[in-house]
Amino acid sequence: MAAFPNLTSMPQQPYVSRPEAEDFLAALEAAFKSPQNSPTVFNAWGIGGVGKSTLTRKAKEIHGETAKIATVSFGLTEGIDEPIPLMAKLYEQLAVKDSWSRDPFWEVHERYFDTVHQLSTQAAAGWGAATPEQVTQVKQLLKFGVDTFGELALPETGKKAANALVDKGIDAAVAGLSLKDSLQQLLQQHKATKRDQALQRLMLEPLPQLTQAFAEGLSQQANQQPILLVLDTYEKVPGVIDTWLWRTLLGNTDLSAQRVRLMVAGRHSLLKTEGWRKLHQDRDVVRDLTVERFTPEQTQAYLAEIGMTDDAQVANIGRVTRGLPYYLNWIREQSEKGRTLDFDQGNQEIVRLLLQGLNDTQKRVVQLAACCRWFDSKLIRYLTEQQGLDFATAVDEGQNCYGWLTQLSFAEPIGKRWRLDDVARDVFRQSLERDELETIHSNLADYFAALSESMVLPHSSPEDNYKNPAWLELRSEYLYHLLFSGQVDFQRPFATHMFNAHFYDASELVTIPFQAIRAEFELDEHPLLGYQQRQFLKKVRPKVLSHWAMEISVLDTILAIVSPNLRHEALYQKGSALARRALYLRQKGCEEEALAKLTEGLETYSAALNLKPDYLEALSEKGNTLSWLGRYKEAIAAYDAALKIKPDRHAALNNKGVALCNLGRYEEAITAYSAALVINSTDPDIWDGQAIALLHLKLADEAIESCKKALEIDKNHAGATYDMACSYGLLSDSNQACSWLAQAIHLKPDRYREMAKTDPDFDTIRHDPRFQALLEGGEE
């Protein structure tokens, strides 16, 4: 038995230098001095316990006096599940929010949330309180701004794009715009926003504007002092934040040129995901460091720092800890508390080391807690009683099991609850036999299912549950534990909840357990999940991580089990999945297969409408599918049916205009576009569609005015740019026609160069050398 020396006077957290880590830290320091020539993101990654947090701590120590530092830890820092609150949490550590300073970020942030407050409390008409329906709309507005990333748009229309396909999928364009229609209507009517188009754009698409303001604010502060943003435990980051980080913050701002750097620590390399890889290939944005276990020499150096130099003892500790700094740090903590540990069995499992000094009952209670993502007193009471243990005295005569757990060195608070830290959870869960693990998780699944059911009020609808945050949290815990429980019929409840969550717009119900599992281990390598569970999660992953994408086979599974009152929605989703597949096949040149999928999708929408004839989204999608099949008269009938239900649905009016154009009924098309523009004059696609119809009628001057409107809204609108060229071509204005055509070809080279070769709008200038040079791929 080896006793620890007295370490009270030694440093609290030793640091062992590693060459690769020193190079990493040196590169970070150099990046502050020369940001234009340096990576923006410093990514330290590795398995749990290898010292990633120690490395971030060291970086903060180095730059603590010279830089401003803001830190969050995903899974521990509360309220950072979406980009906007994350930005606020980071920014408040850097700049005080007050009412007199004109900070770029706080100014936009305050304007946005002040307007949200007005929209949710004041009636649109200007007097009285907001109606419950309006409050619901505001909640949708908050969610819409994050879910869409401001990217939903209709396809180009009319003769210029009669056969074009929607890149984002049919249902995303139409269903998303249906919601956008209603939100725009609220903003155009409410006294707080109706006279301010800039504010309306902010409310509909807050994320791009707040991100730009965030980057601008960081840049201004970095002029005075470098800024380090530390994102720890990144393996737990919500998918929406990860996408926002690489796509919006880093992809659409000039932050990389400023003295602002991000340090991201987690279990997985950022470069394993496609979005990060593409960004890195384009901009060399990531400095990547794999943090490994200590070598024997580094382990010896660490132990020497804490006063342990006995060769035999050092050798034993090295074998037990396997070079993991987490375990070495735990040994240091125990030594500082004056505890003596037994290393005589050098090759014993680390779990036995961590549990050393505990009796069998105490060890079992620790294993029960390790199976929980979080625990409170009630949950530990339930688990101990399931094991036949006395909650009050089983582990200690003087305190109950919950109080005892909270005093363990590897327990940490999370809000008003507790949890075991990630490495300890991994170790203790893997120490359980498979049947023990499944029994505990089965008990936990039962507990959270019963607790969530107890919250359901008599005569409440399913929608009431899915709108209840407390019910959603408990139900997501149920789904998490269900997947580890070994239950044979796990797919049915998970798939049903997944589908209902999509239908009731409560995606967090399934994203929370899915991301929690993925944060623990890669799905293919998760040692605690069964093979069937791993395969199922890989199969449904597109649905869980996306608002609309789902495999047809998964939807067929759901159709077999979904409740009758939601079968029409499942059919609609299958129709949308078939349409997406058709788009993909057509892009690959597989026209025959694409046609088959579109036809099957049409039949599926019709089946949904048989169950629910007034299903607005299915009517709109049926119209779109008919248009893509070239059945324009039937498409117009479907759009008219949708408009009969919702006359102000501008997406249906716009798409009706497309179908009318393709039938050569241009005056009627202009009427449809004009009606759509009365409802929504800020959609550049509608203005461009109207321009196309005007071009067919040889009304070039009017078409130019319509294109100008589109380009005022979106200066890079490729369709409107091309149609400007066509308009000037009709007017025989070679200079303007070639200038606009060059811009269109720059935006979409293959598309518009090919179209211009046969477009009759250019017949009067076709022999102009400049026009010919553009067609041949000359200077644009």
Which residue's structure tokens are 């929408």? 605
CA distances from 532 to 458, 489, 529, 537, 594 (A): 36, 11, 8, 9, 32
Long-range contact set of residues 755-763: C-beta below 8 Å, sequence gap at least 24: 755/160, 755/722, 756/725, 759/726, 759/729, 761/695, 761/726, 761/727, 761/729, 761/730, 762/725, 762/726, 762/729, 762/737, 763/729
What is the per-residue pLDDT for 177?
42
Query: Which of 205-209, 445-449, 691-695 has the weakest average pLDDT?
Result: 205-209
Query: Which of 68-82, 502-516, 693-707 has the weakest average pLDDT?
Result: 502-516
Q: Does 519 have pLDDT greater than 80?
A: yes
What is the per-residue pLDDT for 100?
65
Indicate the pLDDT class of residue 548, thresholds 50, 70 and 90: very low
User: Side chain identity at 739, as an amino acid letter?
Assistant: S
Give yes or no for a contact between 480 and 490, defined as CB atoms under 8 angstroms apart: no
User: Side chain identity at 546, as an amino acid letter?
Assistant: S
**148 vs 414, more confident:** 414
Query: Which of 163-167, 640-644, 693-697 has the weakest average pLDDT?
Result: 163-167
**336 vs 349, more confident:** 336
List Cβ neighbours of 703 (8 Å cut-off, separation of 6 or more). Answer: 691, 692, 694, 695, 723, 726, 727, 730
Q: Does 546 have pLDDT greater than 60?
A: no
Give yes or no for a contact between 317 and 308, defined as CB atoms under 8 angstroms apart: yes
Q: What is the DSSP letter of 2?
A: B
As a whole number, the mean pLDDT across the chain is 84
In this structure, the chain runs to a length of 780
List Cβ neighbours of 683 (8 Å cut-off, separation of 6 or more). Answer: 154, 650, 654, 676, 677, 713
Query: Which of 36-45, 269-278, 340-349, 691-700 has the weakest average pLDDT?
Result: 340-349
What is the per-residue pLDDT for 547?
46
Query: Mean pLDDT throughout 727-746?
Result: 94
Indicate the pLDDT class of residue 175, thresholds 50, 70 and 90: very low
What is the per-residue pLDDT for 7?
31
What is the per-residue pLDDT for 573?
79
Query: Mean pLDDT throughout 454-463?
Result: 80
Q: List the helix and strand counts (H, then E) for the chain.
A: 37, 7
Indicate the pLDDT class of residue 348, thresholds 50, 70 and 90: very low
Query: Which of 14-23, 283-292, 381-390 has the weakest average pLDDT?
Result: 14-23
Indicate the pLDDT class of residue 589, thresholds 50, 70 and 90: confident
Indicate the pLDDT class of residue 157, thresholds 50, 70 and 90: very low
Query: Mean pLDDT throughout 568-575?
Result: 82
Query: Which of 14-23, 76-85, 328-337, 479-488 has the weakest average pLDDT?
Result: 328-337
Q: Quote the Cα angle for 567-568-573, to 5°.
A: 95
Q: Does 344 have pLDDT greater than 60?
A: no
Q: Does 163 have pLDDT greater than 50?
A: no
CA nearest neighbour of 42 among 275, 291, 394, 325: 291
Q: Does 61 have pLDDT greater than 70?
A: yes
Q: In whole angstroms, what is the distance from residue 628 CA to residue 583 CA?
A: 10
Give yes or no for a contact between 21 and 55, defined as CB atoms under 8 angstroms apart: yes
Strand partners for 375: 418
Query: Mean pLDDT throughout 682-687?
Result: 90
Q: Does 161 have pLDDT greater than 50?
A: no
**682 vs 550, more confident:** 682
**461 vs 734, more confident:** 734
Phi, psi of 266 (to 5 degrees): -170, -175
CB atoms within 10 A of CB 138: 21
CA distances from 338 to 5, 7, 310, 475 (A): 8, 9, 18, 43
CA nearest neighbour of 377 among 482, 409, 385: 385
Instruction: Determine how β-strand 411-414 pairs with β-strand 417-420.
Output: antiparallel
Indicate the pLDDT class of residue 355, thresholds 50, 70 and 90: confident
Query: Mean pLDDT throughout 70-90?
Result: 93
**pLDDT above 90 coverage of the chain, percent:** 49
What is the per-residue pLDDT for 333?
75
Query: Mean pLDDT throughout 504-514?
Result: 87
Give me the domains of the chain, ranges plus CATH numbers. Answer: 22-79+228-286 (3.40.50.300), 104-209 (no CATH), 293-349 (no CATH), 434-560 (no CATH), 683-780 (1.25.40.10)
**pLDDT above 70 coverage of the chain, percent:** 88
Q: Six-digit token pair at 763?
A: 């017949």
What is the per-residue pLDDT for 427?
84
Query: Which of 106-115, 380-389, 747-756 has the weakest average pLDDT?
Result: 747-756
**285 vs 587, more confident:** 285
Query: Mean pLDDT throughout 311-318?
Result: 80
Indicate the pLDDT class of residue 525, thresholds 50, 70 and 90: confident
Give yes or no for a contact between 418 and 405, defined as CB atoms under 8 angstroms apart: yes
Give yes or no for a contact between 526 and 481, defined as CB atoms under 8 angstroms apart: no
Q: In whole angstroms, what is the distance from residue 547 CA to residue 543 CA?
A: 7
- Which stretches does DSSP call E strand in 385-488? 411-414, 417-420
pLDDT in tens, 130-153: 888 788 778 877 776 665 543 333
What is the per-residue pLDDT for 389?
95
Q: In whole angstroms, what is the distance from residue 44 CA to residue 55 CA?
A: 8
* CA 623 to chain centroid: 30
Q: Does 336 have pLDDT greater than 90?
A: no
| DSSP-H helix ranges across 663-714 | 666-679, 684-696, 700-713
| DSSP-H helix ranges across 34-96 | 52-63, 83-91
Indicate the pLDDT class of residue 167, thresholds 50, 70 and 90: very low
Q: Does 26 have pLDDT greater than 70?
A: yes
Query: Which of 112-126, 337-351, 565-579, 624-638 has the weakest average pLDDT?
Result: 337-351
Q: In whole angstroms, what is the distance from residue 723 CA to residue 241 CA?
A: 37
Q: Does 750 have pLDDT greater than 50?
A: yes
